[in-house]
Amino acid sequence: MLEIRNATKTFGGLAAVDRVSFSIQQGEVAGLLGPNGSGKTTLLNLVSGALPPSGGRILIAGRDMTGKRADLIARAGVARTFQLVRILPSLTPEENVMVSAVFGAVPHWGEKAREIARAALARVGLDGHHARAAGDLTYLDQKRLELARALAAEPKLLLLDEWLAGLNPTELKEGIALIRSFSETGITILMVEHIMEAVRALCPRCLVMNSGALIADGPTGEVLADPHVIAAYLGEVEDA
Ligand SMILES: Nc1ncnc2c1ncn2[C@@H]1O[C@H](COP(=O)(O)OP(=O)(O)OP(=O)(O)O)[C@@H](O)[C@H]1O
């Protein structure tokens, strides 16, 4: 579903993503971990087309989408959420979600787009909110809205950027169950996440970045016990 070959993104002299290679099979749920500033969001930006890579290739479902525009990558079946929610606050939740039914994997218009939006809102527990401005929703509901918007694009590959951050323990349990329900439908998920409880519950596989490079990739239990991963998180030198 996703193949990344030597992806690199430089900002001036800084390699935010440094020759990263990995692939994710259809239906996999993989966690993308790493300390702050290690390049996780930049990598998601390369996959979603928010930023063009400086080098390397990105294939989605076997198609080379390197450097393609974000709307074309969305049409290829990639949807994402953002670390800081990016909703259209003056539109209703339903209108927010309809936008992605229009620009998603398959373009839908009018009543069909509305129907898809309503189904996505119901799926994340936001039904009944269709008349209010999205900006009036609580933080949690705005996060749900982002997820509904991603789902309404009918993605094959869903990129989650710390979607669970900021939730209280009850909300976290609900959030984990929600993400699990998507993965059970066969959507491939790559999720940046700092909450280890969520990573252990949802991701059989983890990838870890540090200073732009991929430093670990494997079964979650093994990766989290890897001394290099622990050292990266503690900010110690490589061989600590
Ligand atoms: N648009 C940009 N211009 C310049 N530097 C950038 C840009 N975006 C990211 N960076 C830098 O690239 C590096 C990686 O940032 P990135 O946001 O990808 O890390 P991250 O692992 O997602 O961190 P966090 O967990 O804090 O979100 C950081 O040093 C950051 O300052």
Q: Give the Cα separation of 67 and 54 in Å (integer).
A: 9
- Summarize pLDDT for 22-63 with one digit per residue, the tens: 999 999 999 999 999 999 999 999 999 999 999 999 999 999
- Whether the per-residue pLDDT at 130 is higher than 70: the answer is no
Residue closest by Cα to atom 3 of ligand 1: 11
Check if 35 has its Cβ closer than 6 Å to any atom of ligand 1: no
Verify that 30 and 123 share a domain, yes or no: no
Residues 170 and 214 in one domain: yes
Kindly tell me if the per-residue pLDDT of 104 is higher than 90. Answer: no
Mean pLDDT along residues 187-198: 95
Contacts of 36 (CB under 8 A, 6+ apart): none
User: Which pTM does this prediction carry?
Assistant: 0.92
Q: Examine the pLDDT at 240 and tell me if it is beyond 50.
A: no
Final residue of a domain: which of 103, 123, 152?
152
Question: Is 161 found in the same domain as 140?
Answer: no
How large is the ipTM? Answer: 0.96
Lookup result for tokens 């669970």 = 164
Q: Is 67 touching ligand 1 by the criterion CB < 6 Å?
A: no
Read off the pLDDT of each residue in 4-31 and give the average, rounded to a whole number: 97
Please check whether residues 105 and 216 belong to one and the same domain: no
- Round the average pLDDT of the chain to a whole number and report it: 91
> Ligand 1 mean position to 128 CA, how many Å?
37
Give per-residue pLDDT as tens, 63-100: 999 999 999 999 999 999 987 778 888 889 899 999 88
Task: Provide the number of structural domains found in the chain.
Answer: 2
Residue nearest to atom 9 of ligand 1 (CA): 42
Measured in angstroms, how far is the CA atom of residue 4 from the centroid of ligand 1?
19
Q: State the pairing for strand pair 14-24/213-219.
A: unpaired
Using alpha carbons, select from 70, 3, 7, 2 the residue that is nearest to residue 209: 7
What is the residue range of 113's domain?
A: 88-152
Q: Which of 101, 133, 152 is the last residue of a domain?
A: 152
Residues 161 and 230 in one domain: yes
